[in-house]
């Protein structure tokens, strides 16, 4: 179930201010075609998709229907918020400078890149995207074909689970399947033996040529501290690079 927003004195526990982390979340919304609801203080709302991210110009764009009356009402508001759900976790940020740009074939909404994002999930369960040099992988025997060993790229990881990329050329793995023996090779110092439960399978854009497996850790066997250290170090490295 989606988590509820915290009280104001707890907001720092959910605040993301690093530009790299913010962009990572926005890229996921874009690639997964996540529905985003823009709302104003009077209750008006408009549901859209993230259309593009222009980091050098500090802009994000959303798809728009210029004939929608709700959109016209929102454009008159001084305070706007955008909200979406990633892995059933609410992600929310303020929208500044929202303008309607009419094009020849499509209309878009442009706004400034958010300076901070709130992800209503405790820091201990924050997901981080590993660095790809070399790419970390999850190795296990395919649950439907035990003779077949697979090594799937890890898209993101938290203390509660991991997301894996399943290429089109690997046989499908269905939601609800449990993988009892899996080795996560995160980096040269971090290798974990875990059990996974596949919670959901998400289609990605066609050019990605694969899908996303959202997995929960069914067993960590006392390796929580090693995983937490890896997550903390990855977060720190991204913050340093962003700064």
Residue ranges per domain, the chain? 8-121, 137-242
Can you read off the two tokens belonging to residue 193?
């033996």
> Which fold would CATH assign to domain 137-242?
Thrombin, subunit H (2.40.10)
Go through the chain and tell me how many residues it has: 243
Query: What are the tens digits of pLDDT across the range 68-118?
Result: 777 888 888 889 999 998 877 889 999 999 998 887 677 899 999 999 999
Determine the pLDDT at residue 221: 83
Of 146-150, 188-192, 226-230, minimum mean pLDDT range: 226-230
pLDDT class for 9, splitting at 50, 70, 90? very low
Neighbours of 57 (CB within 10 A): 10
Q: What is the pLDDT of residue 125?
A: 52
The answer on pLDDT for 243 being more than 60 is no
Burial of 45 (0-12, 13-18, 19+ CB in 10 A): middle
DSSP 8-state assignment for residue 19: H
**CA angle, corner 164, sides to 158 and 165, nearest 5?**
145
Average pLDDT, the chain: 85
Q: Report pLDDT digits (tens) over 111-168.
A: 999 999 998 765 445 667 787 667 899 999 999 999 999 999 999 998 888 999 999 9
Question: In angstroms, rounded to a whole number, what is the distance separating the alpha carbons of residues 77 and 97?
Answer: 10
Q: Which of 36-40, 50-54, 71-75 has the lowest mean pLDDT?
A: 71-75
Indicate the pLDDT class of residue 242, thresholds 50, 70 and 90.
low
- What sign does the CA torsion over 149, 207, 2, 24 have? positive
At residue 231, does pLDDT exceed 70? yes
For the segment(s) 8-121, the CATH number from 3.40.50.620, 3.40.30.10, 2.30.110.10, 3.20.20.300 is: 2.30.110.10
Distance, first Cα to last Cα, the chain: 34
């Amino acid at each position: 179930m989606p988590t509820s927003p915290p009280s104001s004195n707890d907001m720092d526990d959910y605040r993301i201010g690093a530009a790299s982390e913010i962009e990572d979340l926005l890229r996921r919304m874009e690639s997964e075609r996540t529905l985003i609801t823009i709302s104003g203080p009077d209750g008006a709302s408009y549901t859209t998709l993230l259309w593009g991210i222009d980091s050098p110009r500090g802009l994000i764009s959303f798809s728009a229907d210029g004939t929608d009356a709700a959109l016209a009402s929102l454009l008159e508001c001084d305070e706007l918020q955008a909200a979406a759900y990633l892995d059933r976790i609410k992600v929310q940020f303020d929208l500044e400078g929202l303008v309607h740009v009419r094009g020849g074939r499509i209309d878009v909404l442009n706004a400034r890149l958010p300076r901070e994002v709130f992800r209503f999930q405790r820091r201990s369960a924050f997901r981080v995207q590993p660095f790809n040099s070399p790419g970390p992988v999850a190795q296990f025997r395919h649950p439907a074909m035990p003779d077949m060993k697979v090594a799937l790229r890890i898209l993101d990881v938290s203390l509660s689970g991991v997301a894996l990329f399943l290429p089109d050329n690997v046989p499908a793995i269905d939601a609800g399947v449990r993988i009892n023996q899996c080795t996560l090779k995160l980096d040269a110092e971090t290798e974990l033996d875990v059990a996974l439960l596949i919670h959901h399978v998400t289609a990605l854009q066609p050019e990605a040529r694969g899908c996303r497996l959202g997995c929960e850790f069914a067993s960590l066997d006392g390796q929580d501290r090693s995983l937490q250290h890896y997550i903390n170090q990855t977060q720190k490295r991204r913050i340093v690079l962003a700064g």
